[in-house]
Amino acid sequence: MADRWSKSGHETNSAGGVIVLFGGTKTDTIRGFKTNAVYASAKTGLAVFAKSLAREYAGKGVSVIHVCPGFIETEYCTEKQKTAWEKLTASGKLTSTARFAQMVCDMALSPGVSLLSGSVITLDEGLIL
């Protein structure tokens, strides 16, 4: 992907930017999963991809953030799921889609985003504590 991006001319025609990659719930670090091993491996692998892209393109003004959400309250979340998942978070609540999106935008659009480049950022209401 990075090679294709580089060959497309974006590398030389761009004034920099921000790439946001989205991991999965509890894929902020290497751990074993009983189910969905392939999915979890791919999502966990994004951490290495983000760090590699951040290192490779830092000199070109490109910042890369890898965000791992917790359970997000969406229209697909049932009341039973919501109640069960809230008990798993340190805050006792789920993050709304609007709150999650606002946090990601705040980070990505911050003038100091380069301080976060290469970081794996977990936004999960304390789920993994």
92-128 pLDDT, tens per residue? 999 999 999 999 999 999 999 999 999 999 999 998 8
Catalytic residue among 29, 30, 39, 52: 39
Residue 30 contacts residue 74 (beta carbons within 8 Å): no
Q: Which residue has the higher pLDDT, 73 or 32?
A: 73
Average pLDDT, the chain: 87
Q: Report residue 80: phi and psi, to 5°.
A: -65, -45
Position 59 scores a pLDDT of: 94
Domains of the chain: 16-123 (3.40.50.720)
Q: What is the pLDDT of residue 78?
A: 95
Catalytic annotation present for 57? no
Q: How far apart are CA 89 and CA 70, in angstroms?
A: 9
Task: Judge whether residue 15 has pLDDT over 70.
Answer: yes
Query: pTM of the prediction?
Result: 0.80
Residue 13 above 70 pLDDT?
no
State the pLDDT at residue 66. Answer: 95
The pLDDT of residue 43 is: 84
Segment 19-44 shows an average pLDDT of 82
Mean pLDDT, rounded, for 36-46: 84
Q: Which helix (H) or strand (E) holds 11?
A: helix 10-13
Tell me the pLDDT tens digit for each residue of 48-58. 999 999 999 99
